[in-house]
Structure 1
Amino acid sequence: MNAPLDVPAQLPGWRHVYSGKVRDLYEPDGSPAGAALRDLHGDVVLVVASDRVSAYDHVLSPGIPGKGVVLTQLSLWWFEHLTDLVPNHVVSTDVPDAVAGRAMVCRRLDMFPVECVARGYLTGSGLAEYQEGGEVTGIPLPAGLVDGSRLPEPIFTPAAKAELGEHDENVRFSVVVDTVGPAAAETLRDLTLAVYARAEGVARERGVILADTKLEFGTDPVTGAITLGDEVLTPDSSRFWPADAWEPGRPQPSFDKQYVRDWLTSPASGWDQTSDATPPALPADVVARTRDRYLDAYRRLTGRALDV
């Protein structure tokens, strides 16, 4: 197993402009190579997925080897399956060798300040809301649902984007209307549910349940079209469960970093989540098992194995 990779500070023709919990963004620099990139692609950014892993608003150490490649390659696979539903921001995968496999050249979008979430199953923050008042973001749900219950139909449960290091806040649809206007809000809702429906069916055919997913959209300044951006339908942005192990009434086994979260909140980690203390380093076995889950998700969904 290779060591986890971060992303380089310098890339030929590109200037680093932003670091998130997992991704780094670059824009063409002032060099001849950067000018050539602008001439070729227009207003673009290079989106690079690192191997960093975050939980409970902390970036943890070490990262998960190969995670950035899984996130990028799975996003590209899903973008291809969704092109008839919604345009996406990918322009090219011709990227510098140092970030090959984990980077995409993407159209710069005017992003909507909304996390577009579709839920087909009840868990996570949606379950917590339901247990408090029988609804999720103002949408009433039937009584008697438990952790992992399938909903009568998928629901759109948006969230307001938070600053780096803060939690996104679930909000009612009316807040989205007030933020982006009624026409855009309805389009974001309809697109989110359409993407979820398509992806849920594809995943189910492969023995995987797509419990929920978070999408991000922006407006393409060239075409004016609402466009799918960021990553899409990865284990970082979605909850994937093995269909043959689904059992409502308990937490479900998953193909994501839940294994990391579970270890952090276990007595074995010794971390007090309520304090300001930095989380401890992840043990080698936690890193390896989390990596296996990401690779298994990619293999089950695409039918291909990744050599990373």
Structure 2
Amino acid sequence: MIILAATPIGNLGDASARLVETLSSAKFVAAEDTRSTVRLLAGLGIENRPQIVPLHDHNEREKSADLVERARDTDIVVMSDAGMPTVSDPGYHLVQAAIAAGVDVTVIPGPSAVVTALALSGMPTDRFTFEGFLPRKPAERRRTLRALADERRTMVFFESPQRIASALDDVVAELGAERRVAVCRELTKLYEQVKRGSAEEVAAWAAEGVKGEIVLVVRGADAASFSIEDGLARVTERVARGERLKDAAAAVAAETALSKRDLYQAALNARQS
């Protein structure tokens, strides 16, 4: 079978007993970085030396078929550098191929930077969306954030230390200076830090330079984020595109949590003025 094995995102003490047991007897490992895997085995005091082959973004599609066939006869442990394989890491195409071929897939649960940052952020956790890495190019990043302006769930992103300051500037520009954010860096490591505040405040902090691996958590839009004037502008735009006023008011109310009745009345008032 294929075994997706979650590995520590920083602190080796977070390795599960099941992970250690599996790696102690594993014969074959597909790893995002073979050197990182060798270091992990040593760090966990595992003397077993399985065959380790690279499985990364550049070769996963090519290697998946061969690995699936091998998994019919022997267990294959799949590991990313840290956290859960397939979550912004290699493994997705391999899992797809295994399912299509009728090969079993299982998981060794463990650390995840996504849910760790979410829990530490202080943001609502009942509903959230993981958006992976923000685009590298500023124009694409702005478009991505603009498309998420009305997202009401808490949003979790991965970002590099080199781009976090400019990414936060774009959050300010597209989602507003007061949107609540949290920058979580070096999670579970010695210098773990969580910087919480408004997008404007945290952007000013990040401008001085941020090091380490980073997860950005952004609060979703809520009713307080939209004034009746904002809602009216959206209703007016929809009506101009041909929607009935009643339908436009209902759609904007669903997007913003503003009152449908208030939006409808505001639009009628605007017509009469």
Higher share of residues assigned strand: 1
Greater C-alpha radius of gyration: 2
Q: Same fold (TM over 0.5)?
A: no
- Report the TM-score when normalising by structure 2: 0.24
- Report the TM-score when normalising by structure 1: 0.22
Higher share of residues assigned helix: 2
